[in-house]
Structure 1
Amino acid sequence: MDVLGWIIVIALFLVGMAGAIYPILPGVVAIYLALFVYGWFFTFEHYNALFWIIQTLILVMLFVADYAVNAWGVKKLGGSKASIWGSTIGLIIGPFVIPAFGLVIGPFVGAFLGEMLAGSAPGKSVKVGLGSLLGLFSSIVVKIVLQLAMIIIFFVWIF
């Protein structure tokens, strides 16, 4: 039973890390769930209030950062609310429409189209699309760092 518990915990950690790059996967939620799976299979004894406060704060920071960093990238290069919405929609739909490159092309096209619909010139719309890519790549870095921190804190706490 211990082996099964560790397999599930590690699988959830891997899904979580993959979710940092592929937004359709539950990312940080999978990592947070792994904490509970460990407790159910082994023990919650290692966890105390400080552990849960730290992990929950990181979880909340990840949810906020995921959207805020993308919006920052679009706004940094002059994007409107329409381009932020377009970028977000493109981020979600892109991987389904173009599986190999949709993660990058989706937010760019979404921000570009959103900005065009807002009445901007094509040149500005391209610039805003590039801002969405800046936000996307920045968001991925932030998510990887914070999710790794959650996993490291987990291992430090239980050992």
Structure 2
Amino acid sequence: MSNKKKSTTTGKSKARSLFIFFILLLAIAACAIAAWTMYEMKNMQARLLSDDTPPEVIEVVEPVAPVYVPLDTFTVSLKPGGEEFDRVLYIGLTLRVSNEEDKIKIEKYLPEVRSRLLMLFSGRSAEELSVNEGKSQLIQDIKQILNMPLDEKPGVTVTDVLFNAFILR
């Protein structure tokens, strides 16, 4: 009976000593990794400080504030389509342009810009404008029309067209 107790206690003590050995091995490995990391960080710092060339200065480009040109609302009779003859579009627009020069140009040639837009809107039907694809196509057409030359000068660069009001009646 005493032999059985000895063998079980020695088995437990061997497992315990193996466990302690692995824990010590893990601790030594962690210390070695930490020492290597510190060594490499100091070497990197020394290399950065010993370089004769100054570090590159990265130029920070500030985001350009958008330039908006609000237009008065338009009320336009639409092209008759099908059985409907008296459809009206009430639309409010704001144009986002690329720079202040384009904003000034739109304001200077505002009657011509409004005339071009009125002609564009009146050529559309209610069926075209009632779906999202028609509205997207309208935005593309507005950009294209305003990009055309204004009085012997290049047109404006419209980056986006924003709807403030869009009512079909």
Q: TM-score, normalised by structure 2?
A: 0.28
- More strand per residue: 2
- More helix per residue: 1
Larger radius of gyration: 2
Q: TM-score, normalised by structure 1?
A: 0.29
